[in-house]
């Protein structure tokens, strides 16, 4: 590990390019960059502001950030490039327009020796705004499927069924209040992740099946149950 002698932060790579000053505002961040980079950063800021007029400016992870219910997009200056950080999905969505640039998960680098593609930054920002707004819309879908009741840690008194979707992708949240039925028996509860993983290593979301409900429907751990899931009314109101 290499430690910056100025800010004392540690990095895997020696002489890792980073910003180590304490910064409070985007104005301050830009003002402390080189004369060459300042107008480029200001232009990026203006492009993002125009594309995301309802977003709030702040500093997060020591770099300029636009916030709209979540981190919308970050940008930052480095020795030989500037980067935007719109999240991992953007790199895939705009892959055909980013072939000339170095792209890593959630990071897009624009070299300083070439004109910056401000139009791409504009498009990516507008896409991020659309993505965030989509997450806020109530989901009125009814999920119907059959699945096996499973035991929690081999404890047959505590059981659950798997919800076969990524709830962050479906609802924009890491846990969600739902109205469920198990073989027609109603239940209001939460879909959550309790550290359970799918076979492929991805996050597995679950909802508990109480013992009294299992008794009513005559099902136990290992039995197949018909499930319906809808977002609860109180959850929908919170998403409006």
Residue 28: domain span:
2-136
What is the C-alpha separation between 18 and 227, in angstroms, rounded?
Answer: 50
Residues 124 and 189 in one domain: no
* Tokens describing residue 193: 């992740």
Element of type H or E holding 129: helix 118-136
CATH of residue 59's domain is 3.90.1150.200
DSSP 159: E
What is the number of structural domains in the chain? 2
Residues 116 and 232 in one domain: no
* Tokens describing residue 99: 């072939």
User: Three-class SS string for 209-221?
Assistant: CCHHHHHHHCCCC
Of the three residues 101, 120, 136, the one that is the final residue of a domain is 136
Residues 129 and 19 in one domain: yes
CA 188 vs CA 170, 209, 228, 229: distances in Å: 19, 10, 11, 10
The answer to whether the CB of 160 falls within 8 A of the CB of 150 is: yes
* Tokens describing residue 26: 């985007």
Residues 16 and 128 in one domain: yes
The answer to whether the CB of 137 falls within 8 A of the CB of 171 is: no
Q: Is the pTM of this model over 0.85?
A: no
Residues 88 and 154 in one domain: no
Q: 178 in helix, strand or coil?
A: strand
Residues 132 and 149 in one domain: no
CATH of residue 185's domain is 2.40.30.100
pLDDT at 195 (0 to 100): 78
What is the C-alpha separation between 95 and 127, in angstroms, rounded?
Answer: 14
What is the C-alpha separation between 61 and 148, in angstroms, rounded?
Answer: 43
Residues 175 and 122 in one domain: no
In a structure prediction context, what are the per-residue pLDDT tens digits for the chain, which is 240 residues long? 778 776 666 777 777 666 666 789 999 999 999 999 999 999 999 999 999 999 999 999 889 999 998 999 999 999 999 999 998 889 889 999 999 999 988 899 999 999 999 999 999 999 999 988 877 766 578 899 999 999 877 666 789 999 998 887 777 778 889 999 999 999 999 999 877 777 777 888 999 999 999 999 999 999 999 999 998 755 544 444
Element of type H or E holding 134: helix 118-136
pLDDT at 175 (0 to 100): 87
């Amino acid at each position: 590990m290499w430690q910056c002698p100025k800010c004392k932060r540690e990095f895997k790579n020696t002489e890792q390019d980073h910003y180590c000053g304490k910064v409070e505002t985007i104005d301050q961040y830009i003002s402390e960059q080189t004369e060459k980079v300042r107008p480029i950063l200001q232009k990026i800021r203006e492009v993002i502001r125009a594309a995301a007029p309802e977003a709030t400016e702040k500093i997060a992870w020591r770099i300029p950030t636009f916030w709209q219910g979540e981190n919308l997009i970050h940008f930052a200056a480095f020795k030989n490039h500037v980067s935007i950080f719109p999240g991992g999905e953007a790199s895939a969505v705009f892959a055909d327009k980013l072939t000339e640039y170095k792209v890593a998960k959630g990071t897009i680098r624009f070299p300083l020796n070439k004109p910056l593609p401000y139009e791409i930054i504009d498009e990516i920002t507008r896409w991020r705004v659309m993505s965030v707004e989509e997450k806020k819309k109530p989901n009125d879908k009814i999920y119907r499927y059959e699945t096996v009741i499973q035991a929690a840690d081999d404890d047959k008194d505590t059981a659950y069924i798997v919800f076969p979707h990524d709830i962050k992708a479906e609802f924009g949240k890491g846990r969600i209040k739902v109205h469920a039925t198990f073989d027609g028996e109603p239940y209001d509860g939460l879909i959550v992740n309790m550290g359970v993983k799918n076979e492929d290593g991805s996050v597995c979301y679950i909802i508990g099946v109480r013992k009294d409900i299992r008794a009513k429907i005559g099902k136990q751990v290992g039995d197949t149950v018909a499930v319906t899931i809808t977002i609860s009314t109180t959850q929908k109101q919170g998403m409006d």
